Amino acid sequence: MVIRISPELEAALNESARRQGVAPEVLADAVLRERFLSPGAPLTPRDEWERTVLGAATDCGVSLPHSAVSSEELYE
């Protein structure tokens, strides 16, 4: 299969792959595997408490770097 992507997406993929120290093809494969082959079985809450906790969760799509939540950063 050949996938054609826009120049902007290609540049972003190349940059992200460079930062991670992998080939762009490897990164693209990993991202596609994560998106389409990950075990996405939804969690089934067992009680009201779990329903409340899962209902409050929000996928923000990003993770904070460790430095953002280190004890040194908390006091600045």
Extract the tokens encoding 2: 């050949």
Whole-angstrom distance, CA of residue 69 vs CA of residue 63 = 11
Q: Which domains does the chain have, with CATH numbers?
A: 1-38 (1.10.1220)
pLDDT, tens digit only, all 76 positions of the chain? 889 999 999 999 999 999 999 999 999 999 998 888 877 667 788 899 988 888 887 777 777 677 777 777 666 6
Predicted local confidence at residue 73, as pLDDT: 62
Within 13 Å of residue 38, how many CA atoms lie on the same side as its CB?
9
